[in-house]
Amino acid sequence: MTNRTEPLVSVLMPAFNAEATLAESMRSALASSYSALELVLVDDGSSDETVAIAETLAQGDARVRIFRQRHSGVSAALNFGLTHVRGEFVARLDADDLWHPTKLAKQVKMLTADPATMLTYTHVRYIDGSGRIFRDAAPQNLTGPALCQILYSGIVGGGSSALFCRSVLDAVGGFDERLGVWEDLVMHLKVGAAGQIGCVAEYLTGYRVGGDSSSDLDRSLQAWRLAHKLIECEFPQVPAFVHGWSHARRLLELAEGFAHDKRYRTSGALLAECLANDPVRTSAFLAYRLHRRLLGNRRPLYQPGPLFAEADTDTSYGLSDFDAGLEGHRVRALDQSRERLMRAIDSELSPRPQSTDAAETTAPAAADP
Model confidence at 322, pLDDT cuts 50, 70, 90, reads: confident
- Please give the backbone phi and psi of residue 239, each rounded to the nearest 5 degrees, phi first: -55, 145
Model confidence at 49, pLDDT cuts 50, 70, 90, reads: very high
Quick one: how many helices (H) and strands (E) in the chain?
12, 9
pLDDT of residue 156: 80
Percentage with pLDDT > 70 across the chain: 90
pLDDT of residue 214: 65
What integer is the mean pLDDT of 312-323?
87
- CB under 8 Å to 16, separation ≥6 — which residues? 43, 44, 45, 46, 50, 71, 74, 77, 95
Segment (H or E) for 120: strand 117-127
Report the alpha-carbon distance of residue 237 to residue 72 in Å, rounded: 32
pLDDT of residue 351: 64
pLDDT of residue 304: 73
Which position has the higher pLDDT, 272 or 366? 272
**Closest by CA position to 93, among listed 62, 71, 68, 124:** 124
Look at 48-52, 154-158, 262-266, 358-362 and tell me which has the smallest mean pLDDT: 358-362
In this predicted structure, the answer to whether residue 297 has a pLDDT above a threshold of 60 is yes
In this predicted structure, the answer to whether residue 301 has a pLDDT above a threshold of 60 is no
Computed over every residue of the chain, the mean pLDDT equals 91
> Treating both helix axes as pointing N-terminal to C-terminal, what angle do 50-59 and 22-30 enclose, rounded to 10 degrees?
30
What integer is the mean pLDDT of 193-201?
96
**pLDDT, tens digit (0-9, with 9 covering 90-100), for 66-117:** 999 999 999 999 999 999 999 999 999 999 999 999 999 999 999 999 999 9
Report the alpha-carbon distance of residue 35 to residue 9 in Å, rounded: 9
In this predicted structure, the answer to whether residue 358 has a pLDDT above a threshold of 60 is no
Model confidence at 4, pLDDT cuts 50, 70, 90, reads: low
Model confidence at 295, pLDDT cuts 50, 70, 90, reads: confident
Highest mean pLDDT among 13-27, 201-215, 289-303, 345-359: 13-27
Report the alpha-carbon distance of residue 140 to residue 204 in Å, rounded: 13
pLDDT of residue 318: 82
In this predicted structure, the answer to whether residue 182 has a pLDDT above a threshold of 70 is yes
Look at 238-242, 307-311, 317-321 and tell me which has the smallest mean pLDDT: 317-321
Looking at residue 238, its amino acid is: V
pLDDT of residue 158: 72
